[in-house]
Amino acid sequence: MRLALAIVCLVCASALAQDPAYRLDLGMSMSGATLRVEPTVAGPGGKALRYEMNIRREGKGGTSATSQAGTLRLDGAGKGQFAYNSLSVNPGDRYVISVKIFDGDRLVASEQAVEPKQ
């Protein structure tokens, strides 16, 4: 249970918003032994953006990694949600979650969380 609480309370290792017009939230939540990552972004309405999401887990059972990339369009209110990821939480494992948002080739928002903290 302590691990579950720790995962929910992930500390951002990096919240490097490259453009103050954009806000990125990793949207992490814990349900039982499953961590769900469901990022959201806010910015100028109607804007077409590109995203990259990487999740890496290291533990006794080895290393696993997953990557997703795609495009999204912010709605008229400037809000957008994109792909989500779910992963099993195992005691003693280390998790690194990273999301980057691009406007064309320009990085406009980036966030990373690492648990447990080093």
- pLDDT band at residue 17, thresholds of 50, 70 and 90? very low
- What average pLDDT does the structure give for the chain? 84
Taking residues 12-21, what's their average pLDDT?
Answer: 57
The C-alpha atoms of residue 99 and residue 54 are separated, in whole angstroms, by 6
pLDDT of residue 117: 62
Return the structure tokens found at 102.
């691009």
For the entire predicted model, the pTM comes to: 0.80
Per-residue confidence at 49, pLDDT binned at 50, 70, 90?
A: very high
What distance in Å separates the CA atoms of residue 8 and residue 1, rounded to the nearest whole number?
11
Q: What's the pLDDT at 1?
A: 45
Which pLDDT score is estimated for 10? 38
pLDDT (0 to 100) of residue 118: 57
Structural domains in the chain, sorted by start: 2-115 (2.60.40.2420)
Q: Residue 63 and residue 57: Cα distance in Å, rounded?
A: 6
Mean pLDDT of 14-26: 76
117 vs 88, higher pLDDT: 88
pLDDT in tens, 51-72: 999 999 998 888 989 999 999 9
Whole-angstrom distance, CA of residue 118 vs CA of residue 13: 10
